[in-house]
Structure 1
Amino acid sequence: FSVKGIAYKFDFKRKQQTNLVTGEIWEMEAPSSLKQRSSDLFSRREPVFVVKVPEGAAGKNIQVAHPKKLGKFLKVAVPIGTPAGQNMFVPVPSAFRNTTLLSFYAVGATGSAGVVGASVAL
Structure 2
Amino acid sequence: MPHWPSKTVATRLIRYVKSVHVAYNPYLANPSNPRHSRGAKEFYVRLQSKRVTDSNPKLKLSCDVHNRLADGEGAKIDISFADGTEMNLENFEGKVNDLEDELYQRASEIEYLMEVEGKSLD
TM band (smaller chain): under 0.3
Question: Would you tell me which structure has more strand in proportion to its own residues?
Answer: 1
With normalisation by structure 2, the TM-score equals: 0.23
With normalisation by structure 1, the TM-score equals: 0.23
Question: Would you tell me which structure has more helix in proportion to its own residues?
Answer: 2
